[in-house]
A = this chain, B = another copy of it.
Amino acid sequence: MLETADLTKKITKKEYQNMMADLQIKLGELQRRAKQMDMPVTLVFEGWGAAGKGVLLNEFIQALDPRGFSVYPMGNPTEAEALDPYLRRYWLRIPPKGRMAIFDQSWYRRVLKDRVEKLIVEGTWRKAYYEINSFERQLTDDGHVLLKFFLHISKAEQKKRLKKIAQNAVTAWRVTDSDWRQHKQYAAYLEAVEEMIEKTDTHYAPWIFVEAQDKDFAIVKVYKKVIEALENKISQLGRQKGPKNRCLPAEGESIPVNAAILANIDLTKTVSKKIYKAELAGLQARMRELAYILYHRKMPLIIVYEGWDAAGKGSNIKRLTQTMDPRGYKVIPVSAPNEVERAQHYLWRFWREMPPAGKIAIFDRSWYGRVLVERVERFCSEEEWKRAYREINEMEEQLIAAGAIVLKFWLHIDQAEQLRRFEERSSVPHKQWKITGEDWRNREQWGQYQLAVEEMIFRTSTTYAPWTIVEGNSKYYARIKVLKTVIEAIEKAL
Contact = CB atoms under 8 A, between A and B. Distances in A.
A460 interface: no
A323 B58 contact: yes
A135 interface: no
Contact of A28 (B61, B173, B322, B430): B430
B79 A321 contact: no
A17 to B, nearest CB: 14
A173 B295 CA distance: 11
Q: How large is the interface on A (under 10, 10 to 19, 20 to 34, 35 or more residues)?
A: 35 or more
A282 interface: no
Contacts of A80: 78
A71 interface: yes
Contact of A433 (B32, B325, B326, B332): B32
A18 interface: no
B293 A326 contact: no
Nearest to A362: B66
Interface in A296-325: 296, 314, 317-318, 321-325
Contacts of A391: none
Contacts of A433: 32
A278 B79 CA distance: 47
A170 interface: yes
A189 to B, nearest CB: 21
Contacts of A203: none
Nearest to A104: B327
A326 B71 contact: yes
B292 A171 contact: yes
Interface string A99-125: 000101000000000000000000000
Nearest to A332: B66
A268 interface: no
Contact of A73 (B65, B327, B430): B327
Contact of A339 (B171, B323, B339): B339
A317 B58 CA distance: 13
A248 interface: no
A254 interface: no
A314 B318 CA distance: 53
A338 B335 contact: no
Contacts of A28: 430
A104 B326 contact: yes
B54 A174 contact: no
Contacts of A338: 339-340
Contact of A70 (B70, B79, B330): B330
Interface string A29-60: 10010000000000000000000001001100
Nearest to A24: B430
23 contacts: A28-B430, A32-B433, A54-B326, A57-B326, A58-B321, A58-B324, A58-B326, A65-B333, A66-B314, A66-B333, A66-B364, A67-B333, A67-B335, A70-B330, A71-B327, A78-B78, A79-B79, A104-B326, A170-B289, A170-B293, A171-B292, A339-B339, A339-B340
A62 interface: yes
Contacts of A71: 326-327, 330
A430 B53 CA distance: 29
A461 to B, nearest CB: 26
A25 interface: yes
A331 interface: yes
A248 to B, nearest CB: 29
Contact of A325 (B58, B170, B330, B331): B58
Contacts of A314: 66
A301 B80 CA distance: 26
A200 B58 CA distance: 47
A481 to B, nearest CB: 21
A72 B54 CA distance: 38
A188 to B, nearest CB: 25
Nearest to A327: B73
A170 B335 CA distance: 37
A333 B66 CA distance: 7
